Amino acid sequence: MMLDELLAQWRINSGLTIPPAEPIMLWGEPGRSVWLAGLGPAVPYGPVDHLDGHQNYGYRRLKGDPDAARAIPEAKDWPELQDLLIAINTADSPIESVGCEKGFFPVENAGDAVVKLGSYIEVMFTEIALNEQAENLLSLASSLLRAVEGCEKWWGDVEIALERFKVIQGARTPPWGLMIRITNYGRNEEEARKFWGVTVKRLGDAVLKMPTDFRFRSAKRELERE
């Protein structure tokens, strides 16, 4: 099982005292993978103007506020991204978003594809204490990737990076979060966006099906609950 393999690789690398210099693959197959990566953001964080002219508009909490999800600049005119943000941030969802972005990029040597739509969304558990245990985030990653099984058939790739967030307000120990990278290729921007829409919808539907108390539960814990 994916989660068992993920946890086995995590145990091998969990003793690292600093983030790895290069991402470490914990699990992977064509179109889907999970990595142990570097530092994530401090939550909350302020706006930043980048040297290349792009702007990070800063953290805005969207939990339980679909109108706010529709209004953030990164999702303007992108209903697919708005729907994913709304799904992640429903009041009953176990998780919430802390940042996102998307954009088209030219590609070479990718078969018939000449462009890709690359995007990311960073998430954490709403119950702050759950972010202090990496196993909870890995269980979340496993659940999300099951929802996009076969995404390589529509030129998709979903990479999920386990990140040590710099800060999450209220956390007692260094917290974890996930960066979900969603990429789809196409022969033109319209096709890439069409395929990307399929991927983000599957992820959003998966989140909507999650119970509010979603978290990692070992077989021992499950037996104790019965």
What are the tens digits of pLDDT across the range 115-140?
999 999 999 999 999 999 999 999 99
Query: Does residue 145 register a pLDDT over 50?
Result: yes
Query: Does residue 14 register a pLDDT over 50?
Result: yes
- Range in 44-48, 150-154, 197-201 with the lowest mean pLDDT: 44-48
pLDDT score of 171: 93
Amino acid at 153: K
What stretches of 44-86 adopt beta strand conformation (E)?
48-49, 55-56
Amino acid at 151: C
Q: CA angle 159-138-150, nearest 5°? A: 40
Q: What percent of the chain is predicted at pLDDT more than 70?
A: 92
Distance CA 180, CA 112 (A): 25
| Cα 219 versus chain centre, distance | 25
Average pLDDT over residues 72-90: 97
Kindly list the strands in the beta sheet with 24-29, ordered across the sheet, starting from the edge strand earlier in the chain: 24-29, 32-43, 156-168, 176-186, 113-125, 95-110
What stretches of the chain adopt beta strand conformation (E)?
24-29, 32-43, 48-49, 55-56, 95-110, 113-125, 156-168, 176-186
What's the pLDDT band for 223 if we cut at 50, 70, 90?
Answer: very low
In sign, the C-alpha dihedral spanning 151, 157, 163, 167 is negative
How far, in Å, are 31, 138, 199, 219 from residue 216 at the CA level?
24, 8, 24, 10
Mean pLDDT of the chain: 92
pLDDT score of 48: 66
